[in-house]
């Protein structure tokens, strides 16, 4: 019950779906086709380190990294026999103490790359702050305070902080924002045009994107965001109404066009800076004259 957020502190998912659908026609259509999508209440330590490994990474490599961390520093749980007859050794996720004993060199050798320094630094700082108990206490703190606490860890930016807050720290109104989510909010929740007018995803725009979801969906806006985000996944597209799929495909093409334009703009700006640097005349150093001889008075 705890893992699936089935406690009395949260309304039944069906009630939330109904509340969200009443204020958002698009979500209303999505909700009827994707019932049962909910946010899990994950273990804080595992969730934090998993999202540090997830940044700029793909699912297959994330699974490989986390599996190696479990095998090297976790507690053996037993062996599972797979359908093909092979045996798979299972391990728990490492404790904060276990991870704090890992060295950057060890983790790099395991294939964690530049994330190795983030894992070791975060493990050390988390241990100093009280370990798992510190993260558990964040479940009772306000959203902004939780966000600021999390971005103090190495490898944790605004989006990772909000992912951790949403998926394990009971911050149901956290909205993890990236460029894709910003553009979705611009498409669906930008009546005043402020999001469209923004040139980049600044901290102010990041907060504004989250506010657009919170204003519409309330205390469980992060859960509503998860449902809408799931609806954008290609593997679930076949369940959606045809007109929404067409809209998504058109939106995807528009994103490709914008990415190409941004790439060309950045390239042009870089070339312009290089050209300006080359055209700027170098200052010739002033020649110093011979030192004056002191005369005796």
Is residue 296 flagged as an active site residue?
no
255 CB-near residues (< 8 Å, 6+ apart): 180, 183
Token output for 142: 């306000």
Catalytic residue among 60, 117, 159, 283: 159
d(Cα 225, Cα 176) in Å, to the nearest integer? 9
- Confirm if 54 and 178 have CB atoms less than 8 A apart: no
Catalytic residue positions, numbered: 159
């Amino acid at each position: 019950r705890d893992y699936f957020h089935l406690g009395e502190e949260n309304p039944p998912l069906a009630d939330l779906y109904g509340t969200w659908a009443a204020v958002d026609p698009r979500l209303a259509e999505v909700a009827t086709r994707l019932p049962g999508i909910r946010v899990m209440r994950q273990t804080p330590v595992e969730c934090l380190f998993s999202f540090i490994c997830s940044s700029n990474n793909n699912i297959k490599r994330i699974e490989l990294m986390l599996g190696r961390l479990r095998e090297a520093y976790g507690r053996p749980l037993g062996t599972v026999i797979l359908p093909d007859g092979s045996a798979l050794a299972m391990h728990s996720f490492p404790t904060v103490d276990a991870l704090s004993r890992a060295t950057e060199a060890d983790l790099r050798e395991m294939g964690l790359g530049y994330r190795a320094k983030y894992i070791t630094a975060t493990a050390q700082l988390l241990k100093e702050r009280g370990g798992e108990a510190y993260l558990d206490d964040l479940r009772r703190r306000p959203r902004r305070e939780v966000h600021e606490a999390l971005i103090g860890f190495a490898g944790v930016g605004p989006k990772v902080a909000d992912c951790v807050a949403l998926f394990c720290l009971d911050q149901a109104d956290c909205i993890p924002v990236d460029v894709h989510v910003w553009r979705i909010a611009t498409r669906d929740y930008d009546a005043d045009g402020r999001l469209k007018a923004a040139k980049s995803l600044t901290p102010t725009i990041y907060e504004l994107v989250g506010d657009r979801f919170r204003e519409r969906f309330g205390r469980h806006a992060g859960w509503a965001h998860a449902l809408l985000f799931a609806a954008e996944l290609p593997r679930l597209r076949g369940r959606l109404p045809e007109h929404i799929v067409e809209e998504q495909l058109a939106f995807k093409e528009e994103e490709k066009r914008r990415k190409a334009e941004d790439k060309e703009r950045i390239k042009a700006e870089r070339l312009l800076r290089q050209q300006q640097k080359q055209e700027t005349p170098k200052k010739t150093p002033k020649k110093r004259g011979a030192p004056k001889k002191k005369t005796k008075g």
